Structures are given as structure tokens and as C-alpha cells.
Amino acid sequence: MELSVLKIDGTESGKKVTLNESVFGVEPNNHAIYLDVKQYLANQRQGTHKSKEKSEVAYSTKKIVRQKGSGGARHGSIKANIFVGGGRVFGPRPRTYGFKLNKKLKQLARFSALSYKAQENVITIVEPFAMEVPKSKELLNILNNIKANSRKVLFVLPENSNNIYLSSRNLENVKVINVNEINTYDIMCAYSIVFVDGTQDTLKAEYGR
């Protein structure tokens, strides 16, 4: 798949790049995408939920009624779960929701997501540029010029650029990441993907082996 490299003013630079078929042209595997997205979302969960059980409730341990002769049920402590303020039975405990996936499966999921976006013709290549100071309006103008701002945009840089990242933080539908941070979830969530020229070569070198 061949794409023209655009300037930040939206015009063509005259350069064309060919997307690597081993990264952007594979047969998409929906189940691999599902598993990778599921793992990503599971890893975002803090898992810090906790409720107090019977042994943790701050109440007296005194036996509230005698064992026999009261005409009611036997109770050993007011901390029992049937009393208001008592401990909870089988309540949530801190845990980790993450799970492991094979590297090759995660790679297949990432390639599948990129291949879907390539099939939908929503990938744009823009020539490298720099921002002297963080400025959201300037970045928004660039997205307007290359016609990539209608919906959620994933902006992928070949290397870290603090000013470009800071410029995107006030833009609700724009996410700027480094090529090393690219993941299946962000790719699938984006309606359009903007690669700074050179990013596709890094993807080929790192993941296209």
C-alpha cells in the first residue's frame, strides 16, 4: 500500500512511502484482537477494592446473648454479617486482573488492527515537524490541514516530543503516543491514525521481523 507524505499545511510533499505488507497487510485475526484488548483493559484496573470481613470490623467480641434459653438463634458476636455494621461475607479483596498472553499473539493482534485501518484508508503520513512551544491551537490546525480531526485521532511519533505531547492534552479526541507505546486498543479506538514519517520504518524494523 502506497501513501503520499503530507506537509503540515496539508499539501503533498512529493514523497511516497510503501507500507510494509507484513505489518499493514496481514489477514486480520479478530480473536487475537479481542484477547489483546481484553488484557489491556484488565491491566488498567487497579484492583484495590476491599470490604471488611468479620475479623476486621471494630466491634466488641462479647457474646451478645446466652447460648441457650433465649428463644432465638445462637449468636457469638455482633460482628456477624447478619447484623447492621457487621462484617461482609466473601467481600472483594485486592487482586490483580491482568493475565499473560504470548508475544506472538499480541504481535498478531497489533498487525491485525493496523491492517484493518489500512483497509479502511484512514492512515495518514505527515512529514516530521517540531513545535518550539506547546500550543494546542497549532496542533489542531495541523490536524485540520491534513483532514484528520473529524473524530478520534491517534498521532504516532517516531520518538518522544514533549511539546507535541503537551499540545495534545487539551484536545479531547487526540492522543499522541510514541511508536514504542503503540497498542491494539488505541489503534482500534482511533477513527484515523497519523504517522509521522519514519514511524512506519520503526514498526517494520521492530515488529515486522
Three-state DSSP at 136 gives helix
Its pTM surpasses 0.85: no
Q: Which DSSP letter does residue 7 get?
A: P
**Residue 27, pLDDT score:** 93
How many degrees, rounded to 5, is the angle at CA 85 between CA 82 and CA 87? 65
Give the residue ranges of the chain where pLDDT is below 70: 149, 206-209
Domains of the chain: 2-46+99-207 (3.40.1370.10), 51-91 (no CATH)
Kindly compute the dihedral angle of the four CA atoms of residues 90, 94, 97, 99, in this order, to the nearest 10 degrees.
-110
Query: Which pLDDT value is given to residue 31?
Result: 97
Residue 1: closest CA among 126, 107, 111, 115 = 115
Angle at 187 between CA 2 and CA 171, to 5 degrees: 105
